[in-house]
A and B are shown apart, each in its own frame.
Chain A
């Protein structure tokens, strides 16, 4: 068949095209998760809000009503307060969130996560957290100017051991 060489050529071309698709799209085009002159502010905490009610001394009458194995002298309701966080970036609100405690009896930790791209450079960061049932105001605050190098990741977190709001 006179077509034979043409067909061989076509077949080889086809395989080459197939291989090219694989080599090319397994590494090209490059991907930029973030512009090179930006940085990332990550805001996250895993934090137990305060208990909504303090422990209560049980009266003897109340104790008598309970099954014998549950007669503890104090009763501690386990429900915790939701945790509210407010973050301002250069004086403008950047993030507002109220996280409910986890768990069926709402006694677990509340958690948030958000990542916000910012321009590299210095930014004033104001962070306020309320973890009690109070009506207004905040239990923890932090206000400082933070440097962001290009592509740097900085994390706002909460750690009781480290005294509250942390900025890494």
Chain B
């Protein structure tokens, strides 16, 4: 627990990614899209749905009428229909880009194992649906781009001996395709996205309080970006489809349609094999053997009062309540070992974790066997006694944020927790009462918590906004928080200096 024995080493690639992410927190983590890729993708989904409803109302869903009805929007109603049409396309581009980055991020950060595997699998299942929705949208406009994409898709699908009549034969007519086929296009482009909406709900089902909206400011930036791109580079139709000619495509959407040129440059077999093996690899990733996973939270029935605070704070919905076996009428917390992230956030939420309890060995309602709360209290006491009076500085940090252990000194005691959410706020008051001159609490940046909600709960508890609260009577001048990533040691050191100066000023004033 002392930083010198930080529990889990974090792989270099993860550190590297976190460093990049931290550097891009130019104004605030709230404005950094890399920290909100999933929720930006969700926002794009709603934008697609809203603009899609308008387009659906405007489109003539027949082969002969579709082109003109959409083209008319861009020409005669650019200020609404035209903008919505462009927004619809750019939102799809942004959706795909954010989803792929989201996948890359979770992969690099190793977030596919154990308790996260179901989220990972459901995320993977969204990918084919996303591809079908994105490509199918181009067909509805039935211009040369739609024609090209539909034919390329048909040729690609015919690789599978699925259809008694090769799908491709629908596109051999001299004049055009049938209205029946066009209805199928419409059905695919309405049905598959709806399926995806259902899939998204499944995807975040294992998360407590899933963050499905980006922070308001960032959402505003993304929406303005869509509007600006729609105004500055409106999406227009190519020439109308003509099956007797090979399409000419001056404006090709590589973000959504890259698969077609890929098939043309290689072969249908190559691309099918590549995509399917990629999908299989993604599905298999969670099954990779792991170095022994860390111990999960453990409930001590005699010290659990059934208050449900751990249930409210657990970021992975891993805790449920059952009837207390010894105390009739009381409830008892139960941890689902498969869902538990071993983050310790529940320990910080449990009222029984307060160090002021008089027992010789502190036993709380819910604890982490690898870093029991009693050890934290014991080591804190030992270190406070060993430090020279008047020069006792205490720093609580976490294994995923700035490595506070590097600040360890004769007058600085550092403690690295699994997650800063593991810290019961009363420890700040306890340290101050037990002789510390000041206490600094450090953790990952906002929206950068390795366990989703730890930083948020820690900040809210210390600010007195969430139970268990740090008592308002604790002198605010003698403790501070600093939220800095793995690369933010200098920031933590600077915060400690600032706190030191504040405390010194106050002493002389008194």
Q: Which residues of A contact B (CB under 8 A)?
A: 7-8, 10-11, 14-15, 18-19, 21-23, 25-34, 36, 38-40, 42, 44, 46, 102-103, 108-109, 111, 113, 115, 151-153, 155, 157, 168
Judge if B254 is at the interface, Cβ distance under 8 Å. yes
Q: Is the CB of B26 within 8 A of A30?
A: no
Q: Is the CB of A21 within 8 A of B246?
A: no
Q: Is the CB of B174 within 8 A of A168?
A: yes
Q: Which of B148, B164, B256 gathers the greatest number of chain A CB atoms within 10 Å?
A: B164
Specify which chain B residues have a CB less than 8 angstroms from the CB of A31 in the assembled complex: 249, 252, 254, 261
Q: Is the CB of B256 within 8 A of A26?
A: yes
Specify which chain A residues have a CB less than 8 angstroms from the CB of B165 in the assembled complex: 46, 109, 111
Q: Which of A10, A40, A42, A113 gathers the greatest number of chain B CB atoms within 10 Å?
A: A113
Q: Is the CB of A30 within 8 A of B250?
A: yes
Q: Which of A8, A26, A42, A111 contacts B27 (CB under 8 A)?
A: A8
CB distance from A30 to the nearest CB of B (A): 5
Q: Is the CB of A18 within 8 A of B33?
A: yes
Specify which chain A residues have a CB less than 8 angstroms from the CB of B252 in the assembled complex: 27-31
Given contacts A30-B249, A39-B246, A153-B246, 7 further A-B contacts (CB under 8 A): A8-B27, A26-B235, A31-B252, A33-B247, A108-B164, A151-B246, A153-B245
Judge if B243 is at the interface, Cβ distance under 8 Å. yes
Q: Which of A30, A33, A40, A44 contacts B264 (CB under 8 A)?
A: A33
Q: Is the CB of A22 within 8 A of B246?
A: no
Q: Is the CB of B256 within 8 A of A7?
A: no
Q: Is the CB of A113 within 8 A of B158?
A: yes
Question: With A33-B148, A33-B249 as given contacts, are A44 and B27 in contact (CB-CB < 8 Å)?
Answer: no
CB distance from A15 to the nearest CB of B (A): 6
Specify which chain A residues have a CB less than 8 angstroms from the CB of B90 in the assembled complex: 22-23, 26
What is the bound-complex CA distance between A115 and B156, given in angstroms?
13
Specify which chain B residues have a CB less than 8 angstroms from the CB of A11 in the assembled complex: 26-27, 31
Specify which chain B residues have a CB less than 8 angstroms from the CB of A21 in the assembled complex: 97
What is the bound-complex CA distance between A111 and B169, given in angstroms?
10
Q: Which of A33, A109, A168 contacts B164 (CB under 8 A)?
A: A109
Specify which chain A residues have a CB less than 8 angstroms from the CB of B249 in the assembled complex: 30-33
